Amino acid sequence: DSGVTQTPKHLITATGQRVTLRCSPRSGDLSVYWYQQSLDQGLQFLIQYYNGEERAKGNILERFSAQQFPDLHSELNLSSLELGDSALYFCASSPNSGLAGHTGELFFGEGSRLTVL
């Protein structure tokens, strides 16, 4: 058990809909990372938050947004869903800021599997 909790574990929805994925990081970890993993795209970095502020941004679509709350949990919002958004979405946490490359070990949740029909 990594200590990172993601909900829901599975989600099935229709195209055009909006979903919210939730992540609770390990106790004390200030950084939260979001990744999308699909069969044909591998593990794609979406976004990182550190202590409530956006730290780094990767290949995150404009239809997607995220935030980290004062209690350090994070939510990833996916809107106007398309078939291609079907994937495993992982959250990972770390005590490190990621600043100047000082990224230590990431602790991953078990993921939220999103299926868009």
Partner 1 sequence: SQQGEEDPQALSIQEGENATMNCSYKTSINNLQWYRQNSGRGLVHLILIRSNEREKHSGRLRVTLDTSKKSSSLLITASRAADTASYFCATGDNYGQNFVFGPGTRLSVLP
Beta strands in 25-109 (DSSP E): 31-38, 42-50, 53-57, 64-68, 74-78, 87-94, 107-108
Applying CB under 8 A, the span of 16-24, 53-61, 65-73, 77-85 interacting with partner 1 comes to 53-61
Q: Cα 94–30–102 angle (5° rounding)? A: 50
Among 15, 57, 63, 95, binds partner 1 (CB under 8 A): 57
Among 15, 43, 63, 115, binds partner 1 (CB under 8 A): 43
Binding site for partner 1 (CB under 8 A): 2, 4, 33, 35, 42-43, 45, 48, 55-58, 88, 90, 92, 97-111, 113
